[in-house]
């Protein structure tokens, strides 16, 4: 093979790779658009009247997750299954956002922490790496940490809406979450930096709870059923 033939072969390889990445980008753009639509639906819970609409907003979000599953099914066809991590950077951010949105919906519905398996089911993907397109554990954890920031905002807006017990429940939940993350030895720099933000979320929520306590507005929920 001559030098010219060698570089022509390399160019063919690069062109094919670029075509795959372009196909992936197009699907990811649609995923990002749907993620924005879900976020818009859920953001309304922060409004004073939004707390009464939580069940309806969660139902609407779950409908939109059907579109997410359709896009992800399309994305799976754009690259060889064994090359997941070769192209992972293209969908890492949106997958983390979708993990956050899944976690937020589950929290709003049940005030419980979503599992990695539940997120994977909502998104229509796998948990086990060997089975193909899957939810990487670090992407799941990043989504959970994004949710923590959203809950700190929800705690503040709960007070504005006159829901004085919700911040206390959020505080208990976030403290448990913080305790869980303390058990992890996080070596992923972006994830560790995001975890550092959880400390500020904990402090922010504690300040809300303290202010309510000083004003005599916060009451410990009985047996965790006061929702």
Q: Where in the chain is the domain with CATH 1.20.58.200?
A: 139-218
Class of domain 139-218: mainly alpha
What CATH number does the domain located at 1-135 have? 1.20.58.190
Token pair of 125 as six digits = 């993907």
Instruction: Specify the residue for token string 């639906």.
Output: 41
Task: Report pTM.
Answer: 0.89
State how far the Cα of 72 lies from the Cα of 74, in Å rounded to an integer.
5
Residue-by-residue pLDDT tens, the chain, 227 positions: 788 888 888 887 788 788 999 999 999 999 999 999 999 999 999 988 888 899 999 999 999 999 999 999 999 999 988 899 999 999 999 999 999 999 999 999 999 999 999 999 999 999 998 888 999 999 999 999 999 999 999 999 999 888 999 999 999 999 999 999 999 988 778 888 889 899 899 999 999 999 998 888 766 654 444 44
Annotated binding site: 150
Question: Are 87 and 20 within 8 A, CB to CB?
Answer: yes
Q: Where in the chain is the domain with CATH 1.20.58.190?
A: 1-135
**Helical (H) or strand (E) element with 99:** helix 88-110
**Helical (H) or strand (E) element with 172:** helix 166-182
Annotated binding site for Mg(2+): 150
Nearest to 177 by CA among 222, 112, 221, 131: 112
């Amino acid at each position: 093979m001559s030098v010219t033939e060698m570089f022509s072969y390399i160019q063919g390889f690069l062109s094919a790779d670029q075509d795959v990445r372009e196909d992936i980008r197009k699907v990811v753009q649609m995923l990002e658009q749907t993620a924005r639509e879900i976020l818009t639906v859920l953001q309304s819970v922060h409004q004073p009247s939004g707390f009464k609409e939580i069940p309806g907003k969660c139902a609407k979000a779950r409908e939109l997750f059907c579109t997410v599953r359709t896009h992800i099914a399309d994305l799976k066809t754009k690259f060889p299954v064994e090359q997941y991590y070769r192209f992972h950077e293209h969908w890492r951010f949106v997958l983390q956002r979708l993990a956050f949105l899944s976690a937020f919906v589950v929290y709003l519905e049940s005030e419980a922490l979503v599992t990695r398996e539940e997120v994977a089911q909502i998104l229509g993907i796998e948990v086990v790496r060997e089975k193909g397109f899957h939810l990487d554990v670090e992407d799941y954890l990043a989504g959970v940490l994004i949710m923590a920031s959203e809950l700190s905002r929800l705690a503040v807006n709960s007070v504005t809406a006159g829901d004085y017990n919700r911040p206390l429940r959020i505080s208990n939940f976030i403290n448990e979450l913080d305790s869980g993350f303390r058990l992890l030895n996080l070596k992923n720099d972006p994830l560790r930096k995001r975890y550092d933000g959880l400390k500020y979320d904990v402090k922010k929520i504690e300040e809300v709870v303290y202010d309510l306590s000083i004003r005599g507005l916060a009451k410990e929920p009985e047996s965790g059923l006061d929702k």
